Structure 1
Amino acid sequence: MENAVEKKGKFPYRLGFGILFGLLGWLVPYLGVNSTLLPAKIQQIAPGQKVQIVALLATIAMVVATIANIIEGALSDRTVSRWGKRNPWIFAGMISTLICFYFLTKVTTISGIILNWSLFQVALNMMVAPLVAFIADKAPKKYRGSISAFYGVGMNFGTPVGTMIASRYITNINSGIYIFMVFEVIFTLIGLFLVGDGSNKGEKVPKLHGSELIEAFSFPIHGDVRDFYFAVFGKLLFVSAQFIITGYQLYIFTDYMKLSSASATHNLSIMSIILLITGVSFAIIGGPMADKFHSLKLLVAISTVAMGLGVAIPAIDPAPWTMFVYAGLSGAAMGMYNSVDQALNVTVLPNPNSAAKDLGIVNLANSLGQVFGPICASLVIGAMGYRMIFPMAGVMCLVGAGLILMIRKVK
């Protein structure tokens, strides 16, 4: 059935800004804590084992996030309530992540951090998959690229802003976490209000039994899944390469470039500003370009190659300028990539009736990449030192670009 907004030809600005604010609601606090404040807390508790602990934490979080994303996305697809099928999950995720953040300020042991962060992954994915599904639920086909651009702007704004805020609180970690908690409440509620997902009472959800029950809570195996999995693994490699750098950016400045904590904080802020400017600039133009030229696949592939060049640069010289060049190239790449990526993902879905679950699996590449990247980096750092993580990230991007170009359904 044709979307009413599409019939009228009006651009759904409320949906776009709702997705933007909803994304910032979870992304800024999560990345700020995950990339900076959590490593800083680990460094306080166990400085001698910090690299290994970050990798262990990432491994456990990856397993938990994988299971939680699939189950919570599938349950969201089948939720019927007066508040809609996405809102209850996003709101519950907000409350749960706030609880985890609060207890993170109280834990003083590595085992406590691991338990807390595992529970946080369950809570976080209550928000991630249902929010992305709004694009499939509500965005008219002809505007998917532009609506995806709102998501892309949020991704490229949220990543450096989270780091910029967190870098100011490396020596006062708990205050930084409390600020992120307030930020999350305000932005998430604004996002839900703007999207305005009303009651879906009366919507018929077929009962599941046998193979249908298994399929509802598993990776898709029916329909056109070839392109779907190329998109999944292409995204996984792109995000993994990004977080090889992001996951260890504090340690890159302090251990690889031998800077003091104060100097590292200063350079993290500069890098974040560069990421912010380039990322948001390219995110704004990416979606409209995709809608106009119908070039989703090519734009995603070009962005992935550009990211590959950016992440390889710091291998040239252990000096801050290489991280600034990385920030410029990768910021532009992430801006373009994130602005059209969700439109590509919606296009390759094998079954629109399981949009949240399947989009959750695609976007699971975000969660898995954020932990798979640091795991790979930890192994390479331990065996060969920091310098080799940069070319490794570059190769990941080139392989990811190849997978994206193999997608047939999308131009």
Structure 2
Amino acid sequence: MSQVVQPASGTGTLSKTNRVRFCIAFFVFSFCWMLALQVVAAVLLPQRLADIAPDSKDAIFGVLNSATALASLISNLVVGNLSDRTRSVFGRRTPWIASGGILAGITLFGVGVLPNGFLIGVSYCLAMVGLNMMIAPIIASLSDRVPESMRGTMSAFISAGTLFGSALGQIVGARFITMQLPGFIVSGVVMALSGVLAVLFWPKEDSSKDMPKTEGSLKDLLVSFRPPTKGARDFWLAFAGRSLLLFSYYMILNYQLYILQDYIGQSVEDSAVTISTMSLVLMVVSLISALSAGPISDKIGRRKIPVVIASILLAIGYALPWLMQSPLGMILFSAIGGFGYGMYGSVDQALNVDVLPNEEEAGKDLGILNIATTLGQMVGPIVTSAIVVATGSYQLVFPTAIVLVALACVFIMMIKKVK
């Protein structure tokens, strides 16, 4: 099936079959990579660190998260740009997606079998490179293959897959918390499948061999990585809002196992049970919010209303474990905060595409916007780690997250290009 003609400007159309195939591809891809990553990042890796370095696990985990986020930041930007310039019989995006899945799957499995922290860190960083070899071109395809009137719906399927995968990944990870190697095997296989399944499900991408080639020197290639400046006010407001919102979310999400064990006082076994409960709750609420808010946003032609509601729900979710130092507080965080995050995620990528200053450079510019995700993964854990090291408690983590999500909402509301 052929590629859609000029969808980025909103003039293209999708057949019913292609709409279904894109929805399935976006959901399956997001579900698989997030499930695989969360098995490791949310449960198995922090528990392994707690086993081998109980006195310094917070600091080591913060360093690992920061290193992998930096690797994601660089690879997302580079691959986004290079996929714009790729000319092959398989199209611009497909070769990166398929090869990235294989690299990410092998190296994510390596995290569970390598013998020391340095090699674990190297393999984890390579896994993030492979992951972003898939994410950058997949998100860029929203601009060059999906009409503007359907981006909210497609963004909703991306968000739903991500949130469903995150929840189920934590459940799977909790099952393997005392028997870790099989869990690493599962995560590696599922990560490798994410890219392969994406390109099998979505409509075949047209060859890019006949597209005009981007000629130039190495200097021209390096210059092409420059961030957008002309007409880019809304672009940078979206970047700031997304970064701050994700800072707040990852401050708690990446430390939920330690919060349950060190802040609330649960044992390893009890914390695994609580994470499973939180994940089941998150799975239900995120699917409801993500799959409803995106299509509603398309129907009413507005992106900001879901963001405001999502920010309020996230702030409430952050406040509950702060005020209720109990497993119930964290479960309610998953319920209310998870609903809010699903609502935000359902319009997130659609909003990002809508504020692009130059759709011809969608891969590169969306790569820059996706840096906000890696900054959130990097800075959020650093902030949490710094607060815990400085105060010896998680008490200040929650109000800090509330302030950050409020600021995020302010920045997004200042965007003029979208309603």
If the length of structure 1 is used for normalisation, what is the TM-score? 0.95
How many pairs align? 410
Matched, 1:14 2:21: yes
In the alignment, what sits opposite 2:325?
318
In the alignment, what sits opposite 1:246?
253
Matched, 1:80 2:72: no
User: Tell me, which stretches of 5 or more residues in structure 2 are unaligned?
Assistant: none
In the alignment, what sits opposite 2:414?
406
User: Tell me, which stretches of 5 or more residues in structure 1 are unaligned?
Assistant: none
In the alignment, what sits opposite 1:95?
102
Say which of 158, 171, 176 aligns to 1:169: 176
Say which SS state the counterpart of residue 208 (structure 1) adopts. coil
Q: Deviations 1:3-39 (Å, cap 9, x if unpaired)? A: 4994477471211211111222322111221121111
Query: Which deviates further from its counterpart, 357-366 or 81-90?
Result: 357-366
1:12-411 to structure 2, matched below 5 A, reads 12-195=19-202, 196-209=204-217, 212-221=220-229, 223-384=230-391, 385-411=393-419
CA contact (8 A) 1:21 1:188 kept: no
Instruction: Name the CA shift for 1:394/1:8 in 2 (closer, same or farther; >3 Å).
Output: closer
What code does the residue aligned with 1:362 have?
L
Looking at structure 2, the residues matched to 49 and 331 of structure 1 have their Cα atoms a distance apart, in angstroms, of 29
CA contact (8 A) 2:134 2:195 kept: no
What code does the residue aligned with 2:87 have?
V
Task: Please state how far the C-alpha of 1:171 moved relative to its aligned partner.
Answer: 1.2
Name the Cα RMSD after superposition: 1.8
What code does the residue aligned with 2:280 have?
I
CA contact (8 A) 2:106 2:188 kept: no
Instruction: Name the CA shift for 1:89/1:9 in 2 (closer, same or farther; >3 Å).
Output: closer
Looking at structure 2, the residues matched to 49 and 210 of structure 1 have their Cα atoms a distance apart, in angstroms, of 44
Q: Deviations 1:292-319 (Å, cap 9, x if unpaired)? A: 1111022123212321221122111321
Instruction: Name the CA shift for 1:258/1:214 in 2 (closer, same or farther; >3 Å).
Output: same
CA contact (8 A) 2:101 2:191 kept: yes
Instruction: Name the CA shift for 1:240/1:8 in 2 (closer, same or farther; >3 Å).
Output: closer
What code does the residue aligned with 1:285 have?
S
CA contact (8 A) 2:27 2:158 kept: yes
Looking at structure 2, the residues matched to 364 and 370 of structure 1 have their Cα atoms a distance apart, in angstroms, of 10
Query: Which deviates further from its counterpart, 203-212 or 106-115?
Result: 203-212
Looking at structure 2, the residues matched to 330 and 305 of structure 1 have their Cα atoms a distance apart, in angstroms, of 9
Looking at structure 2, the residues matched to 131 and 8 of structure 1 have their Cα atoms a distance apart, in angstroms, of 17
Looking at structure 2, the residues matched to 227 and 77 of structure 1 have their Cα atoms a distance apart, in angstroms, of 22
Looking at structure 1, the residues matched to 379 and 407 of structure 2 have their Cα atoms a distance apart, in angstroms, of 16
What code does the residue aligned with 1:393 have?
A
What code does the residue aligned with 2:216 have?
L
Looking at structure 2, the residues matched to 168 and 345 of structure 1 have their Cα atoms a distance apart, in angstroms, of 36
Task: Please state how far the C-alpha of 1:209 moved relative to its aligned partner.
Answer: 4.5
CA contact (8 A) 2:105 2:187 kept: no
What code does the residue aligned with 2:104 have?
T
